[in-house]
Amino acid sequence: MAVVTMTMAKALNEGLRRAMEKDPKVVLMGEDIGKLGGVFRITDGLQKDFGQDRVIDTPLGESAIVGTAVGLAMRGYRTVCEIQFDGFVFPAFDQIVSQVAKLHKRSDGVYTMGLVIRLPFQGGIGAIEHHSESPEAYFAHTPGLRVVSCSTPNDAYWMIQQATHHDDPIIFCEPKSRYWEKGEVDLDSPPHDLFDAVVRHPGTDVTVVGYGSSVKTMLRAAEAAAAEGTSLEVIDLCGVAPIDFDTLERSLNKTGRLVVVQEAPRTASVGSEIVAELTERCFYSLRAPGLRVTGYHVPYPPARIEEDYRPTVDRVLDAVDRVMGFES
C-alpha cells in the first residue's frame, strides 16, 4: 500500500491530476488557475502538464464559467470549475440552481450534468468580506445538486476523483483553513464512498456531527472531554447533500445525545436539518434535545474577531455539558 504525507492542497492537486490522467474529458476552468495555479495553488503545474485546452484561465465572471461548464457537460465533458472564494459563488447562483440542478430532469435524462464546482469555504484565514462564507445550505436545499466536503488530505485526494466521475452536479466544499495541514494519503484505495459519513472518533456518550473545518475542532473537543470522563463519538458528515442519516442514526441510538457543529449560521441550516431528521428517527432513543454549535446569525465578521464567531472547542464542550446534564 502506497501511503504518503501531504497537505490537503497538494492532495487536491494530485487528485485532480489523477482524474485528468484517467479521463481526457476532464477539463478544469477558473480564474487564475492556469499559470498562477489558483490563489491557493490547488491547480499548480496542471496547465503546464495538460495544456491550456484542459486547464483554462477564464475571464472574471463566475456565471460565464458555470454556464460554459453546463454546455461542456451536455457534450459529455467533465468540467471542474473553481470558484476562487466562497462569497464569489453568488454571481453564478442563477446558473447553478436554475440550469445545473435542473437540466437532467428537464431533458428527461437525455443530458447528465457531470460537473464539479469547487468551492473554498468557511473562515479561519483572516480574510476580508466575501472570503469566509459558508453557503452550503443554499445548495443542499436545491433538488438536483449534491454537496460534499472533505476534512482530511486523504479524503480530499479521493473525493475529488470520485466527484469528477459522478454523473450528477456536485458542489465540492473545501475548508480553506485546512489547506496547509498535512496528513497521510493512501494512493491505492478510497477510504469510503463519496457521500458516506465517517466515524472519526468512536464514543459512547454523545454523538458530535460536523463537516469541513469543524471536524478538527470536534476531535480536539473529544480529547478534552475524554480527560473529564466523557466519551464523544465524532462523525465527519462528508456528504452534506445527501446526508448519510443511517450512520448518524446508528450512533445516536447508541449515545442518546446529539451535538451538531458548523461554521454557517444556525437558522435554516444543515445543522437544523440534522437535528430535525434525527429527532424524528431517534425520538425514543434521545436522552436530551439535540443542540447546534454554529456561527451566529450575522454577516461574517472582520478577521480580527472571526474566532469569536467560529465554533471553538469550548463552545462544543459547553454543548456537551448541556446535553449530559439532562436526566435520562
**C-alpha to C-alpha distance for 58 and 34, rounded to whole angstroms:** 9
**C-alpha to C-alpha distance for 66 and 84, rounded to whole angstroms:** 13
Q: Which helix (H) or strand (E) holds 291?
A: strand 291-295
Half-sphere exposure of residue 251: CA atoms within 13 angstroms, side-chain side: 29
Closest CA to 56 of 76, 78, 34: 34
Q: Which helix (H) or strand (E) holds 322?
A: helix 313-324
Active site (annotated) includes residue 104? no
Q: Which residue type is seen at 326?
A: F
Catalytic option among 131, 166, 192, 297: 131
**C-alpha to C-alpha distance for 306 and 196, rounded to whole angstroms:** 30
Q: How far is CA 76 from CA 64, 111, 159, 277, 283, in A?
A: 18, 9, 21, 36, 45
Closest CA to 27 of 60, 84, 68, 64: 68
State the Rg of the chain over Cα. 20
Joined together, the cell numbers standing for residue 121 give: 469555504
**C-alpha to C-alpha distance for 179 and 177, rounded to whole angstroms:** 6
**Positions marked catalytic:** 131
